[in-house]
Amino acid sequence: MGKTALITGATSGIGEATARLLAEEGYDLILTGRRSQRLRALKKELEKGFRIEVLPLSFDVRDRQQCEAELGSLPEGFREIDLLVNNAGLAAGLEHIDKGDPNDWDAMVDTNVKGLLYITRIVSGMMVRQGRGHIVNIGSTAGTQPYENGAVYCATKHAVHALSQAMRADLLRSGIKVTEIRPGMVETEFSVVRFHGDRERAGDVYRGIVPLTGEDVAEAVVWAVSQPAHVNVDEIVITASQQAGAYYTYRKEE
């Protein structure tokens, strides 16, 4: 019997890479994101390449009613979800707290915390009824190591860290595993989004460094969910070789 995974934020970066690796493992996929064209293209690619079924759902995890409507009306073959990867998230802005943009704050809190909660509330209920499942939350090293100019982003990822630990306790008796993966620097669209499309500034974040890729983090997801039934991987911290946490980075001269 095949397994089904739901991945949020699957249109790029870690989410897209995770979709490809899980497809290779034989998972049928429910992929969510706001960019419907990318979802359709990924569906076509994965179904052709791996002979699996893909259900693309284009909606915004920040909208609770959309989450409930889309996941409350899944087709028959997608109503049992074995794996949830809460990947949708973003950073917006990089300023001291007194200069931060409240619109950026809303975007981060609504996506990174509330969106994760909306999706988890629905899917965890399905898993409890099934008596099985695995939830993987994509956090960040910022979830335990706050840094200057990143107060609100760090706060949201601290929330993901706390929620992951609390979910583990809440779902323990239901036989549902919970894993948090906390990457450091990953070169995806993350910094482009943080700097509102300024690609030059985004590129400077990774100057002199070989950062992680989305595929590196996706490999960690697949490893965690491939463990035997009696093994739960509580958390994984993964960083580039040139980054020792949030505070120490070695940049090679170009």
Q: Which residues are catalytic?
A: 153
Phi and psi at residue 194, to the nearest 5°? -60, -40
Amino acid identity at 67: C
> DSSP secondary structure string, 131-183?
T-EEEEEE--GGGTS--TT-HHHHHHHHHHHHHHHHHHHHTGGGTEEEEEEEE
**Residue 28 belongs to what H/E stretch?**
strand 28-33
Measured at the alpha carbon of residue 212, what is the angle toward residues 211 and 215, in degrees to the nearest 5? 145
